A and B are shown apart, each in its own frame.
Chain A
């Protein structure tokens, strides 16, 4: 795999840091020194310096500028850093769809995408779908058709449903079901979800 210079530099820095820290461990600092280092948050400062990289992206039309560890997923960044908890964690393996968001308009499992892979991209989460208090047509249709019970998979279902309409995969109930099968609903609201999507797509609503 070809990696950019920037990435190589990053991983070199990280490797250097790890080497340094194992060296520190190897010369066996006395426990009290180690405690002092911890108290002064020395490891934190190292980590800050070596482990984080800058990131710029747009979330729900707001510019976000941050510095973040490369191993943070887009999902955890949204939930834990930005507190946009509408996007849900259901498996962390891209198998359930609860974390579906739009990246540059396309549906993506945010748990399978590292935050730093989204440099310069435009992210839309469930919180960015409605226009203030005015619900998006898909949100309203989910309420009308009771396309959920516990509500946990719902933001992902709705983000997927909006994309499904935009992709033009709503020509039949069967096609909708097929293209919505990446979003698991354990409460089993599937027929109601299809009803909601049928209504929005038939209504010609711009999704």
Chain B
């Protein structure tokens, strides 16, 4: 099925649950005696709580308890010295505006909400700074190394090249904003057993965090998270508000549910950190890259450090003997960031892929031709061959589908009335990770197979992918297979992040199926049955209602020998209105080069979703602060613009769909990140091609296009 639009393949296995409202997300579990928690948050950005008046709240109808640093609800790890700086309810320090300072628990949501409004705090304010650009430019401000400096060949070789491009690129803070609001239900039982219903990308990670904070055995904690309403990275950790909810349940001896507000989604559950990056590129006049320098500043918080892979791509994506990178993080007085889809690589790719386009323009070369000319055969950073890379084929397919031949190299050439048309391209790349996971398989004489693993599905279709792997290997119809996930009591698996689930858990599913197959073959042989006998007959003949096997699977030596990546090429056609500066994305073609496509339908959706996220990143998304107060001013969906249906044009997705021979038994690599990485640069490059205006600060809003400078 190479290079076809993959449609009409297997439907999502949990589709019926999702379209009928039967899929249960964390907040939807009915527990007897359920209570509701609502957070009180700080109204200053930095300083100390001087007083907290909770009396009125405590007397309000339906209120069960108000917890804060005044009554320090039990959390043994927080009672000790050391540990994290931001120990919720164990510190009177304020690190950011909107920090949770108390939780009000009542018997209804409305009563808890009203009572929370009655809690009054006074503070000792301190000077603060939430302006990342200011912090970067301030020579006095704290700066930390985010990653060891990297150098190959001559440092800053670009400066002496025949053709030089040196530019600065700015990214604002972005907020993940999955549709489901964050929260948790915590149910602490009298014997120190805890059940939590969480919105998490990792049930085992949540279980571990709760065990650490409350110092109870890990087996006392059960974390359930069968359906997750999107994560995009923000549910990769257990946030203080979740710990506060567990504390509250332990304190009152009843289940407590918290679901934060959309406004709170901006302050206390992470964001994509702002970044300022400088790219220096040097090339010979013939278009050979001779030097790449990538220097990046990323935002972090004052109370906890956060780093990500902003400068990774520059080290290996293009053939170049002289490369150096530097990544520095600069703390500001905001909540700590967390990986957001594509994470740092998407941040870095905007800068690098914009600069590559700028260099092609400086050389008067087609940017596609320039990329192909500098496409590496080997990974120069690790000095290893790539396990599998089909970028040239991806360029060919994608360029044909977008109609690249219509593109003119001279910007502003395609004008139709007030609309200017432009074409842009970019590349995305992300490490093809594979971790360690266990899966239990139970093959039953009724013809069904149950697979179990403590992995998650935040939307990509984990269960669907796993079911298809098993179905193919064992020849069992999809509707006879059930893949159970989202429960910490199942065999362990890592959190869903870094595009690794299919590769990691899928490999364990593979191993389980291979093992079950050989057990059936042995049983068949032992009972004088044909080796190709149906497993149902074999089990029945042996009087076995079922057989089960648990396998742990992980990567081997192949990762020492090969450099493994997933790649994507994004082609974008835009129309820019010359009077209003409005950019309309007219057509998108994304090509995925990520090994075998196990589940074509969900894989396509993932690529489509990445492109939609990329449109937001490129054109509209920006979490705006009023630095006088340290507060977000567009902390809602009316003012923080994620793409809506009318913003999105036709999206064509193509897959190279060739197995990676080394990564795992399926030959399949993850694609959640590459769907977005690089996309924003393709838009910026298309806008430049349409208008001749190079926008180096995201998002590309009309004011920037209309600005004359």
Residue on B nearest A34 in the bound complex, by CB = B59
Tell me the residues in window 46-74 of chain A with beta carbons closer than 8 Å to chain B beta carbons: 46-47, 51, 69, 71-72
Whether A93 lies near B18 (C-beta < 8 A) is no
Whether B12 lies near A191 (C-beta < 8 A) is no
Q: Which residues of A contact B62 (CB under 8 A)?
A: 43-44, 47
Whether B16 lies near A135 (C-beta < 8 A) is yes
Q: Which residues of B contact A87 (CB under 8 A)?
A: 21
Whether, in the assembled complex, A194 has its beta carbon less than 8 Å from a beta carbon of chain B, the answer is yes
CB contact between A125 and one of B21, B611, B645 (< 8 Å): that residue: B21
Question: Known contacts A139-B20, A146-B604, A177-B648; is A152 also within 8 Å of B61 by CB?
Answer: no
Q: Which residues of B contact A126 (CB under 8 A)?
A: 19-21
Whether, in the assembled complex, B14 has its beta carbon less than 8 Å from a beta carbon of chain A, the answer is yes
CB contact between B110 and one of A72, A140, A174, A193 (< 8 Å): that residue: A72
Tell me the smallest distance from the CB of A76 to a CB of chain B, in Å.
6
Tell me the smallest distance from the CB of A41 to a CB of chain B, in Å.
9
Q: Which residues of B contact A76 (CB under 8 A)?
A: 109-110
Stretch at the interface among B24-32, B93-101, B660-668: B24-32
Whether, in the assembled complex, B350 has its beta carbon less than 8 Å from a beta carbon of chain A, the answer is no
Whether A143 lies near B12 (C-beta < 8 A) is yes
Tell me the smallest distance from the CB of A123 to a CB of chain B, in Å.
14
Whether, in the assembled complex, A84 has its beta carbon less than 8 Å from a beta carbon of chain B, the answer is yes
Residue on B nearest A96 in the bound complex, by CB = B637
CB contact between A86 and one of B22, B458, B612, B643 (< 8 Å): that residue: B22
Whether, in the assembled complex, B459 has its beta carbon less than 8 Å from a beta carbon of chain A, the answer is yes
Whether B610 lies near A98 (C-beta < 8 A) is no
List 12 A-B residue pairs with CB atoms under 8 Å apart, sorted by A's residue number. Answer: A47-B62, A85-B21, A86-B22, A88-B25, A129-B20, A142-B19, A151-B229, A177-B648, A182-B644, A187-B612, A188-B613, A192-B605
Q: Which residues of A contact B460 (CB under 8 A)?
A: 149
Whether, in the assembled complex, B707 has its beta carbon less than 8 Å from a beta carbon of chain A, the answer is no
Whether B23 lies near A93 (C-beta < 8 A) is no
Residue on A nearest B28 in the bound complex, by CB = A85
Tell me the smallest distance from the CB of B470 to a CB of chain A, in Å.
20
Whether A71 lies near B262 (C-beta < 8 A) is no
Q: Number of residue pairs across A and B with beta carbons under 8 Å?
A: 194
Whether, in the assembled complex, A189 has its beta carbon less than 8 Å from a beta carbon of chain B, the answer is yes
Whether B228 lies near A150 (C-beta < 8 A) is yes
> How far is B230's CA from A194's CA once the two chains are assembled, in angstroms?
20
Q: Which residues of A contact B459 (CB under 8 A)?
A: 149-151, 187
Residue on B nearest A71 in the bound complex, by CB = B110
Q: Which residues of A contact B59 (CB under 8 A)?
A: 25, 34, 43
Question: Known contacts A90-B262, A150-B180; is A188 also within 8 Å of B28 by CB?
Answer: no
> How far is B613's CA from A139's CA once the two chains are assembled, in angstroms?
25
CB contact between A91 and one of B15, B108, B637 (< 8 Å): that residue: B637
Whether, in the assembled complex, A166 has its beta carbon less than 8 Å from a beta carbon of chain B, the answer is no
> How far is B474's CA from A69's CA once the two chains are assembled, in angstroms?
56
6 closest cross-chain pairs (CB), A and B: A86-B21, A188-B612, A152-B229, A151-B18, A150-B459, A188-B609
Whether B20 lies near A150 (C-beta < 8 A) is no
Residue on A nearest B25 in the bound complex, by CB = A152
> How far is B670's CA from A1's CA once the two chains are assembled, in angstroms?
57
Whether B637 lies near A93 (C-beta < 8 A) is yes
Whether A191 lies near B229 (C-beta < 8 A) is no
Given contacts A143-B15, A146-B15, A186-B613, 7 further A-B contacts (CB under 8 A): A76-B109, A80-B108, A83-B30, A125-B21, A130-B20, A151-B459, A190-B644
Tell me the smallest distance from the CB of A144 to a CB of chain B, in Å.
7
Whether, in the assembled complex, A167 has its beta carbon less than 8 Å from a beta carbon of chain B, the answer is no
Whether A152 lies near B109 (C-beta < 8 A) is no
> How far is B154's CA from A76's CA once the two chains are assembled, in angstroms?
63
Tell me the smallest distance from the CB of A125 to a CB of chain B, in Å.
7
Whether, in the assembled complex, B177 has its beta carbon less than 8 Å from a beta carbon of chain A, the answer is yes
Whether A127 lies near B20 (C-beta < 8 A) is yes
CB contact between A88 and one of B109, B180, B228, B648 (< 8 Å): that residue: B180
> How far is B63's CA from A43's CA once the two chains are assembled, in angstroms?
10
Whether B110 lies near A153 (C-beta < 8 A) is no
Q: Which residues of A contact B114 (CB under 8 A)?
A: 71
> How far is B637's CA from A206's CA once the two chains are assembled, in angstroms?
33
> How far is B16's CA from A114's CA once the two chains are assembled, in angstroms?
30
Tell me the residues in window 363-391 of chain B with beta carbons closer than 8 Å to chain A beta carbons: none
Whether, in the assembled complex, B178 has its beta carbon less than 8 Å from a beta carbon of chain A, the answer is yes
Q: Map CB proximity to A onto B38-64 as digits: 1 under 8 Å, 0 otherwise.
A: 000000000000000000000101100
Please count how many residues in chain B sit with their CB below 8 Å of the partner chain's CB atoms: 64
Residue on B nearest A148 in the bound complex, by CB = B18
Tell me the residues in window 601-622 of chain B with beta carbons closer than 8 Å to chain A beta carbons: 601-602, 604-606, 608-613
Tell me the residues in window 165-207 of chain A with beta carbons closer than 8 Å to chain B beta carbons: 174, 176-178, 180-194
Tell me the residues in window 517-574 of chain B with beta carbons closer than 8 Å to chain A beta carbons: none
Tell me the residues in window 643-688 of chain B with beta carbons closer than 8 Å to chain A beta carbons: 643-648, 650-651
> How far is B642's CA from A182's CA once the two chains are assembled, in angstroms?
12
> How far is B429's CA from A64's CA once the two chains are assembled, in angstroms?
54
Residue on A nearest B232 in the bound complex, by CB = A186
Residue on B nearest A159 in the bound complex, by CB = B21
Whether B21 lies near A155 (C-beta < 8 A) is yes
Whether B637 lies near A150 (C-beta < 8 A) is no
Whether B642 lies near A180 (C-beta < 8 A) is no
Tell me the smallest distance from the CB of B503 to a CB of chain A, in Å.
19
Please count how many residues in chain A sit with their CB below 8 Å of the partner chain's CB atoms: 67
Tell me the smallest distance from the CB of B71 to a CB of chain A, in Å.
16
Whether, in the assembled complex, B636 has its beta carbon less than 8 Å from a beta carbon of chain A, the answer is yes
CB contact between B179 and one of A79, A85, A142, A153 (< 8 Å): that residue: A153
Residue on B nearest A143 in the bound complex, by CB = B15
Tell me the smallest distance from the CB of A113 to a CB of chain B, in Å.
15
Whether, in the assembled complex, A92 has its beta carbon less than 8 Å from a beta carbon of chain B, the answer is yes
Q: Which residues of A contact B28 (CB under 8 A)?
A: 79, 85
Tell me the smallest distance from the CB of B57 to a CB of chain A, in Å.
13
Whether B608 lies near A189 (C-beta < 8 A) is yes
> How far is B12's CA from A90's CA once the two chains are assembled, in angstroms?
23
> How far is B27's CA from A86's CA once the two chains are assembled, in angstroms?
11
Q: Which residues of B contact A188 (CB under 8 A)?
A: 608-613, 643, 648
Whether, in the assembled complex, A8 has its beta carbon less than 8 Å from a beta carbon of chain B, the answer is no
Residue on A nearest B177 in the bound complex, by CB = A186
Q: Map CB proximity to A onto B245-275 as digits: 1 under 8 Å, 0 otherwise.
A: 0000000000000010110000000000000
Whether, in the assembled complex, B308 has its beta carbon less than 8 Å from a beta carbon of chain A, the answer is no
Tell me the smallest distance from the CB of A160 to a CB of chain B, in Å.
10
Whether B651 lies near A191 (C-beta < 8 A) is yes
> How far is B650's CA from A187's CA once the two chains are assembled, in angstroms?
16
Q: Which residues of A contact B642 (CB under 8 A)?
A: 184, 186
Which of B19, B62, B109, B177 has the largest number of chain A CB atoms within 10 A? B19
Which of A69, A89, A98, A143 has the largest number of chain B CB atoms within 10 A? A89
CB contact between A184 and one of B61, B637, B650 (< 8 Å): that residue: B637
Tell me the residues in window 87-132 of chain A with beta carbons closer than 8 Å to chain B beta carbons: 87-93, 95-96, 98, 125-127, 129-130
Whether, in the assembled complex, A163 has its beta carbon less than 8 Å from a beta carbon of chain B, the answer is no
Q: Map CB proximity to A onto B2-19 as digits: 1 under 8 Å, 0 otherwise.
A: 000000000110111111
Whether, in the assembled complex, B181 has its beta carbon less than 8 Å from a beta carbon of chain A, the answer is yes
Whether, in the assembled complex, B638 has its beta carbon less than 8 Å from a beta carbon of chain A, the answer is yes
Tell me the smallest distance from the CB of B702 to a CB of chain A, in Å.
19
Tell me the smallest distance from the CB of A64 to a CB of chain B, in Å.
17
CB contact between A152 and one of B230, B232, B650 (< 8 Å): that residue: B230
Q: Which residues of B contact A182 (CB under 8 A)?
A: 644
Whether A149 lies near B636 (C-beta < 8 A) is no
Whether B601 lies near A146 (C-beta < 8 A) is yes
Question: Known contacts A92-B261, A150-B230, A184-B179; is A193 also within 8 Å of B645 by CB?
Answer: yes
> How far is B262's CA from A140's CA once the two chains are assembled, in angstroms?
31
Tell me the residues in window 10-33 of chain A with beta carbons closer than 8 Å to chain B beta carbons: 25
Whether, in the assembled complex, B227 has its beta carbon less than 8 Å from a beta carbon of chain A, the answer is yes
Whether A178 lies near B110 (C-beta < 8 A) is no
Whether, in the assembled complex, B595 has its beta carbon less than 8 Å from a beta carbon of chain A, the answer is no
